[in-house]
């Protein structure tokens, strides 16, 4: 799935993005991409895979949204359940959820008129493993 970076970030962030990064391909989230940073440095390809997810989580609203989805009963939440937690409009919340979905952190399923979001465990495990220090080195 190709993600158009130019339309999925705020205009102030866009001005800082290199024109050469007009689109990114979200790689398969089911396979851990990287060894812990304490074992070996990331390759350029690995960094390009992980950076959009970290960037998506760097926004406080998005970080809270992931937390709310994970802590919601059954591990999934409807957009209608998430709106009341913020002093933001529903379109703004939907935009943030779209960014999280396109970065590979959330899955979504439309049921009737509502969209339900669920975390992608493999993506969260990849980030966790990347940041987890190794206790022993071989």
DSSP 3-state of 72:
coil
Domain with 10 in it: what CATH number? 1.10.10.10
Examine residue 136 and state whether it is found in any structural domain, yes or no: no
Examine residue 138 and state whether it is found in any structural domain, yes or no: no
Position 115 pLDDT exceeds 70: yes
- Which pTM was predicted? 0.68
Please give the tally of structural domains in the chain: 1
Report yes or no: 9 and 27 within 8 Å, Cβ to Cβ.
no
**pLDDT per residue as tens digits for the range 42-88:** 788 878 888 899 999 999 999 999 999 999 998 999 988 899 899 99
**pLDDT per residue as tens digits for the range 4-51:** 444 444 444 443 443 333 344 444 443 446 665 666 787 888 788 888
> Among 87, 93, 27, 23, which Cα is nearest to 59's?
93
Rounded CA separation 138/113 (Å) = 53
């Amino acid at each position: 799935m190709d993600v158009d970076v130019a339309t999925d970030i705020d205009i102030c962030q866009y001005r800082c993005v290199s024109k050469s990064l007009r689109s990114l391909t979200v790689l398969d989230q089911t396979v851990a991409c990287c060894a812990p940073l304490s074992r070996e440095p990331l390759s350029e390809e690995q960094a390009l895979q992980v950076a959009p997810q970290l960037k998506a989580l760097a926004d406080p609203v998005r970080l809270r949204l992931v937390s709310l989805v994970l802590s919601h009963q059954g591990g999934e939440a409807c957009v209608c359940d998430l709106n009341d937690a913020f002093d933001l409009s529903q379109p703004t919340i939907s935009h943030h959820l779209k960014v999280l979905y396109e970065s590979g952190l959330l899955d979504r399923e439309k049921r009737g008129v509502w969209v339900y979001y669920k975390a992608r465990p493999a993506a969260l495990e990849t980030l966790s493993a990347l940041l987890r220090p190794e206790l022993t080195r071989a």
